[in-house]
Structure 1
Amino acid sequence: MKNKHMERHQTLREKILETIREAILKGNLKPGEKVAEPELAERFGISRTPIREAFRQLESEGYLTVIPRKGAVVAALSERDVQEFYAIKSILEGYAASLAARNLTEKELERLETVNRKLRSLAEEGDVRSFYRVHNEFHEIFLKAADNSKLYGLIHQLGMKFNRLRMASLSVNGRMAISVDEHEKLLDAFRRKDPETAENLVKKTASIGSKVLLESMMNNHHGDTVNLNQDKH
């Protein structure tokens, strides 16, 4: 019985996470706006505990700021956050790609190609959520092939902390298709065992991610939130 209860608890928490992430990414919840526990408890018909757990996770991903005695508010997203995140991502992932270029096996290269084909069809469907999950799989393969556990840990931590930025960037209109094309070029460098090109390509991809997100923020009237209408895809 205990396991059943835990599974239900987990599923509800996931549902709350999805709901809040989506509302923030689409701009329905604005920076500084309070995310009310009682309303969520009523909406999902649950106690406050899974909601508090979800809030803690969303805070670690950069979506919320939990203020003592005030509760959870939507975190503001600044241009500086975007620039700093992508600068660090560029250096760390670029280095990982250069290491992976030397190490990737034929089997791993085939897996990368299969995953990228899947990404192309998801980009055509405009399915941002699935694309984000599978996109992470693509990166996971070459990050592990870099065979540097400390580097892998740093990139993983950074990715978790800036989950919101990565998701927001991929949600910008046309960004998913660009990502698939960039992967194709990277795969070519991996096949040729060319560490320098692989590193430069990953750095270029980070710079595109930063650019599209900053443009999206500037086009938004609020300036500090990314208003993404996913129906455009």
Structure 2
Amino acid sequence: MSKRVEPTLLTDQVFATIHASILSGDLPAGSRLKVRDLAEQVGTSVMPVREAIRRLEEMGLAEREPHKGAVVKSLSFEELIHVYDVRRLLETEAARLGSERITQEDCDRMQSEYELMREAIREQRVIDLLDHDEEMLAILYQAAGNPVLLQMIRTLWQQCRAYKIVGAQGSLDAGKDDSLWRYQQDLVTAARNGDPAAAASVNEASLVDATERIKARLAEQATP
């Protein structure tokens, strides 16, 4: 039994390491996932790395490219907009449902994550601000009582994490960080007031704004 379990546990560890590097931006979109290089970095044989990459492909975080092999998946401009359109549909509904059922204790937890997010913004720690933002939102969405809805949203977050980093970094570089926190501030207020219409409206506006910021940042990067 132990001989059968150990390789699986090792693959889980390798997967978690590569997965974390993608979400942190250490492996940005388009990065090649060279099996032997990764195996050397994590200190394993190539087999767990190959299996970990296969899992990443199944999750939509990696893909195969001709003459390159596996790479961290990039979203086309059109696909990025599609992802944010779906996020807007799901997260607007999740905010509406969550604000109807959330407890004051969970609102306090949202407030704590919001304050940690503001601190990360002041210190320009992009990954931390995104982590706290997502955790704050997850508390509200979990209150909706639909775990499938939350899981679908988390999957979309992972798929567009590289672009969330681009958008957040762009706002920080431009000195316009209010777009990173003012919607969240209003969302906490809506949740405390048990106001589903306000929560849905805030999320709608937030995601529309995020889409436009990311589009603008990508356009800047594409300009010679």
Give every structure 1 segment of 4 or more consecutive aligned residues whose post-TM-superposition deviation is greater than 6 Å: 1-8
The aligned residue for residue 136 of structure 2 is 138
Q: Paired residue for 2:18, among 16, 19, 26?
A: 16
Which amino acid in 2 is paired with 1:78? S
Which amino acid in 1 is paired with 2:203? V
CA contact (8 A) 1:61 1:162 kept: no
In the TM superposition, 1:105-124 aligns within 5 A as 105-124=103-122
Cα-to-partner distance string for 1:128-157 (whole Å, 9 max, x where unaligned): 222232222111111011123443343234
Distance 1:91 1:13, change over 3 A: closer
In the TM superposition, 1:32-43 aligns within 5 A as 34-43=32-41
In the TM superposition, 1:80-119 aligns within 5 A as 80-119=78-117
Shift of 1:110: 1.0
1:213 aligns with 2:175: no
Give the distance between the partners of 1:126 and 1:186, measured in 2 at CA.
Answer: 22
Cα-to-partner distance string for 1:142-181 (whole Å, 9 max, x where unaligned): 1011123443343234334444444443343427653322
In the TM superposition, 1:55-204 aligns within 5 A as 55-60=53-58, 62-66=60-64, 71-174=69-172, 178-204=179-205
Q: Secondary structure at the match of 1:197?
A: helix
Aligned-pair identity in percent equals 22
Q: Secondary structure at the match of 1:172?
A: helix
**What TM-score do you get using the length of structure 2 for normalisation?**
0.79
Distance 1:69 1:82, change over 3 A: closer
Q: How many residues align?
A: 218
Q: Please give the root-mean-square deviation of Cα atoms over the aligned residues, in Å.
A: 3.2
Distance 1:88 1:101, change over 3 A: same
Give the distance between the partners of 1:152 and 1:15, measured in 2 at CA.
Answer: 23
Shift of 1:60: 4.5
CA contact (8 A) 2:14 2:52 kept: no
Distance 1:197 1:171, change over 3 A: same
Distance 1:7 1:171, change over 3 A: farther
